[in-house]
Every structure is written in C-alpha cells, then in structure tokens.
Structure 1
Amino acid sequence: MKWAPLVLGLAAVFGSSCLGGEVRPQWTVTVRTDAPLPLVGDRLLVEILDADGALACEACRSVRAAPPGTFPFSFGVVPTARSLRVRVRLHRARAVRGAGTPDPDTTLDTLALLPPTPGPVEMELAMACFGVASQADASCDPATRTLTPVGTAPAPSRKLEEGSWALARAAPCDDAQAPSGMRCAPAGPFFFGSLLEVDEPRDYLTYLSPFYLDVDELSVGRARAAILAGAVGREPRRQSAEPRCVYLGANEARNDDLALNCVDRSLAAALCASEGKSLPTEAQFAAAAGNGALGTRFPWGESTDICAHAVVARSDDTSEPTDCRFAGGTRQPGPARLSDATLDVTFAPSAFRHMGGDLDEWVQDTYRSMFDPYYRSAVPLVDPLSMNRGSATIRGGGWFTNRAFAQSFWRASEGLAGTTHTGFRCAKAVDR
C-alpha cells in the first residue's frame, strides 16, 4: 500500500500517524481502483472540500504521479470544526483542460463525505464509472453508472485491485496459429483517436478482441492470384490506363512484389474476402499503427524524422508534397516493394510494415467526425465499426501525401474509387 504521510504538508487538514510525536485522531482514507495503469491514468488528484464543495484550505489540493503499483493509496485527514468531503480523480497528464482540470470524459472520479468519527475509510475509483464526473452533491454509483447523492465513505472492504478490470487485458493470441503473412495485432484496451490531432483532438477508451493483421499491404502478386483463380470478378486499374498504377494485368508478374494501388474499396474488400479475411476496422488499424495501449505518435515510435522512416511526400508532381523525395538523396515516387528494407515498422513482436506511409489504406468503416455521438455510445467502445451512409475512411500516409499523414492517428474521408496512393491490407478474427 502506498502511503502519503503528509499530503501537501498541511497538518491542519492532512496528517499521518507516521509523523512521530503525538498521534492525532484522523481519517485514514484508502483509495482503490481496478483500472489498468498507466493506460487509464498517470496522475492522482486529491481534494479536501468543505460542505459547500469549496477547498477546505488553500493547500487542500494535491496532484501526484500515479505510476503502476500506486494503488491502494492511503492518506490521512485531520478533523476540523467543519464537516469534510474528499474528491479523488485519476486521469492522464495529457488529458487536461484549462487551469489543469482533468477532462471529465476520460477521468475516474469519486466523491464521498467523511463520517462523523475519524477512522479508516475507503474510496473506490471503479472502471464502471469511467468518464462520469462527480457533481457538487452527487457521485457515480458503479452498480448503475449513474450519479447518486453523495454518501459517506464506508469502512475498507478491499474489493478492487489495480488492473483487475475485466477488460484490462485481451485474450491470448498465438502468432504460431496466424495465417501466412499475418501476425497477432495489439488487442485489449487502448485509446482510439488522439489528443494530438489538431482538428479533432478527442480519444475514446476502446476494447478490441484479438485479431490477426497482414504484416504488409496486399501485393500485386496476391491480387493476381485471386483474379486468376476466379475468386474476384474484375481487376484493379491497369498501368496502361494510369501510369502510376502498378497492376499490369493478370498474366504479368513483373510488379508482384509491389503493394497494390489503384483499387476501389469494394474490390479491396472482395480481395480480402477471397482469402477468408476482411478489411480491418478503423479501430483495428489504429491500434496496430499506434502500438496498442502505448499510443505512439508514429508506428515506429516517437522519432519525428519522418522522411527517414516512411514512404511519404515523394510526389512526382511539384504541386504536391515532395519534401521527402529529395531528403537525403533522390527517392523514387510510387509504392515501395515489399522486399525493400523500411524503418516504418511497428514494435515487435507484431512488426507491421508501412502503416505510416507507402499507401493510404482502406478500412471497413465509413467516416465520422471524432466528435460524433457514436463514439460516446458506450464506455468502453467494444470492437467498434462505424457504418453509416457517409464516405469511406482511409488510414495512414501514402507516397503522394503530406508527411504529417504518417502519424498513427491520421484519418480522412475518401471517395470509393481509390487513387494511385491508396491500397489496403487484410485482417482476420482470432477463432475462439
């Protein structure tokens, strides 16, 4: 158990029998949670309030780091002539609004009255109440996920253990059982979206069931095999019709090692289906590109040397981004060969390639703004799939696009026809 011997150093309200000298009557408040750390939070905010909900003293507010292993966390509160209440919040350091206020939509928050007689009490930050903010006289009831009148903190029951939330971890996924060319993808809980996104800085707690994902984008060779087998009834656009398309024809193998472009969304879905797979959902792509719960800014991590890592901004049209084409030597425009070495690789053991660049990639979902109410329809979102009448969604950057598109959270709406910088990869659910 973690013990805060003198929170804020203010003996008038906070105290501890660990200080030596006279032992004063006090409430020993133990905070417990079932939340997985640091995913759900890495900061603990404790406030001692008076009956009106105002801070009971000038220094009755403490913010401290909450690394894994923080809970159960205890501190002492010394009685005063006034009745007191305690509010505790667990949040992410980056998820704060003005004046350092935690974003209520992604915070665990509980409020309780201290009983008349000092002694040990317990407060719970239950994942069942994730995103439900306490009000002046109400706090979330984990049994109903609704606000109920604030109650008195009970005696310790030790019901919650850090990380014991039922969805804290994904079911196992075995790479040895993965179809050829696929690997287990990061599943379990993660935040879908990003607070770094300039236009739509939102993210949502999401849970994904285990799934396999293609290591590489689907190649010309795989497409030709499906076409020759009669598994799909039509072809991608040929290079003879559009010079930057890489498909040469069903009987032409010269570009088999190139990622397939110039493919519309329905044909992409059909090619995946011909292999017993599907396009990944947007959440699946996002989890893989951002390394799951780690939520990295780029598939390869945090390095901002984008041109060295990803096949982006290599246009052969001076009206489009070319800044990576000539960085460190001239690079060829167009999709990369799958056999080419690349630094655009997610963390091991998944090691998916070209999720930041090479080709923008189709996903199953139709496009919604990250502010759309759909993303608030459940907490957490479980295996979300957005299907409305909107445009299609693409993820990841392409050789023709701005280098900022290599960020793991980049997304855009797209028509259904596909372009010279649009491709895809396939996903498959793990059988249970």
Structure 2
Amino acid sequence: MHIVIIGAGEVGREIAANLQAAHDVVVVDSDPAVIEDLTYSQDVLAIRGDGTEIGTLRQADVERADLVIACTDDDEANIVVCGATRTLSDAFTICRVRRRSLLETWEGSQGAFGVDFMVCTDLLTAQTIYQISGLPAAQDVDMFAGGLVRMGEFEIGPESPVAGRTVEEADRYDSLTFAVVFRGEDMIIATGETEIRAEDRVVVLGSPDSVRSFADDIVTPDRDETEEVVIVGGSEVGFQVAREFEENGYRPRLIEQDRDRAREIAEALPRTVVMENDATDTEFLEREHVDEADLVVATLDSDEKNLLVSLLADRIGVERTVAVIENTEYVDLFETVGVDVAVNPREETAEEIVRFTRADHTEKVAMLEHDRAEVIEIEISEDSPLAGREIADATADFPDGIVIGAISRQGDLITPRGETVVRPDDHVVLFVDAVVLDDVIDLV
C-alpha cells in the first residue's frame, strides 16, 4: 500500500517504523530536523511541509494513496488534513484527536470532516487503564474475537505461587494458552517445559474467565479486588479515566489542585468525589485514607510529576499504581523504579491505527513490549495454508516465533492444541514475533 503519514511525532514515527518494511510509506512533517533524522533512520520518504496544504499533499502523492494517517498533535490540523485529502483522493483517512468531544461529533455524523476513522488518544488511554485495573499483576490487556478471547501480559512477582514452576505445572485451565515469556531482553516461546521465574512477563490467551483465573492465581493470596480507585490529576486523560470507571459502576476519587478545573470535573462527573488539593501533600493523603486505595492512577501534566506521585503512593502503601507517560523512553524506567504499570497514550494510539494497515482479513492488532511482538486476529480464508490442517502439521510451514493462541468458530471458543484442525472462516488469534510478522501475514 501507498501510505501517507502526516506528523512525525512519537505516534507518526512508531507507525512508520511498523510499516516501512511492507509498504510504500511517505512521512510529512514541518520540522527540518525531524525530516533529516527520518531520512537516515527509517526506510521512508520524508517530506518537509505543511500537511494541511494541497501542494504538500500532492508532493506526497496522496492522489494514489491507499491510506492517509493524520497524527499531528493538533486536533484541528488533523481534521483539515483529512478534509483536504478527500478533495484529491479516495484514500481511507484516519484522524487522531485528543478531545473526546470531537470523536462524539464525528460518531454522530459518520463521514463528517472527510474522516473515515477517528482515534481518540485520551479515551483509548482511559479504556486501557480500566482494562488493566481489572486484572491483578497485568501489564497489558486486550480483547479479540468480539470479546470471546482475552489477552493478558502479567509480571510474575517473587512471591507469586507460579514462580519457579514450569508452564505444564502452572497450566490447569481448560481454555488458556501460554504464548510467550519475556525475560529481560529475551523472548521465549512457551512450551510445557518452560520455567516461569520471578520478574518474567508472561503472555496468555484464552477465555476472559480463564485469563481472570490465571491473574488471580499468580498474585499473592492477600491481594484484593480493585474497589477503591484514586485518580491524581484533572487532565483530559484523568477526566476520561474517571468517566470510564464511573460508567463501569465505580465511585472513583479524583485529586485536582486547580479550583476551577476541580469544580468543572465535579459538575460533569456526579459519581466521582473530586478533592481540591496537592497530591504530593502526604498529610492530606493520609487524612483522606489514600493509602487504603487499591489503585492510584497518576494523570498529571508531566511524566516527572506522575513518577513522583506513583512512588509516593507506593510508599504509603497503595496496592497498585498506574502512571500515564508521554515519553516512550521512560516506560521501562518507570516500571523498573517501582511504578506497577506505565501507559503511553501515543503507543496506544499507534497500535489502534496500525491494524488498518494489515491485510484485509486481519481483524485486530495488539503490540507487546514496545513492538517486539504482536498479537493479531486473522480470519482464515479457504486458500490459507492453515485451512483444513492440524495445527502441528500446518505450523511446520511457518517460521519460528508464532503461537496459535485461540480460535473463534461461529461464536464458540476453541482452545488450540496440536491436533486441532483449523477451518476456513475461523478467527485465529496468533502471537507473532515482530521479526517474522510480515512473512506470517503473507502466508496466512
């Protein structure tokens, strides 16, 4: 495909890096330093210019584009890019926005602004945080096959009951597949003999109930359900996180220092208790019993503040901390120094957009460990090398680094084993090493 990406910030760069091997990619940005860096670091055509201008779009050859992705940090500029593209091309347009109100306007009038698909970064981030909160020890969570299949990535603590056991010893679930173990920089495809060690990150695929049971089993016995949620920061992300918890039956508490913003949030979210105070005030935190919270989500306006709040929450005894991190380079650092989960809005956005660049039969994509691997959902066609064959036989034709994690067949979940026969029209959820991803997609 000929793909034009407008905006080479972290979202644009990550999308370009993911697509450059398999597609003809053009990246447009107004910053000459960014363009120079892209020219030497990625296999893309980098063009300096304003993506809202017709001349720049023509220079990017948007007339023959299959896909145009507007992902600058300016919501309005992204909408203009899509509208301008529509005057030149029939390309599928994707628009990234941060404001949920724009998404709701677009949803109310499909096709408005010349946008075919709109991604709201703040809403995606809030939904990710809510999904992670529901599973203890989860680092990443996603759903496939219309909710029939859940993926979970979990960190194994030193006191976890499964630490030191093999996958075969730990696997007592009817509908669960152990896909991979991340150990430091190593990625180990799971077999029955694979040992699960403390500090490993284990990826499993299966029914929501089985993944939930696994999550419950790997934590220490005294760990409670997430009931008490405290959100620190009334940013747009913080507001959307509170709204997401509200909509799912919670009564979260939100701490915001600015009086006007605190009042605005309190009026908009009737089930959220809004407290006007500095979240780094330990006396306030103790007085309001924040130390008894099951989850603290830091959504302040800087990564450094979110780190400080998360470490402070951990120190006073909060069960679990989640920090929103804008700089992708900080994610591993934050989790190393004590933040339980670091969520990067730009990574969430890039993941949502990338699925539109896959082959037509690819239904869903989830990136793992900063794009070291992906979990993808694919509908099996009649001419697929998987169709009509047992998994053990069919996968012998595939490169190493692939695990068939689950199969959805006419609404039923099938847990794949070596003798399972894959049928046309099955929806197969695959774990794939990023190194062989393009080869695997071409095969299936």
What TM-score comes out, normalization by structure 1 length? 0.25
Larger radius of gyration: 1
Pick 1 or 2: higher relative contact order, CA cutoff 8 A, min separation 6.
1
With the length of structure 2 as denominator, give the TM-score of the two structures: 0.25
* Larger fraction in strand: 2
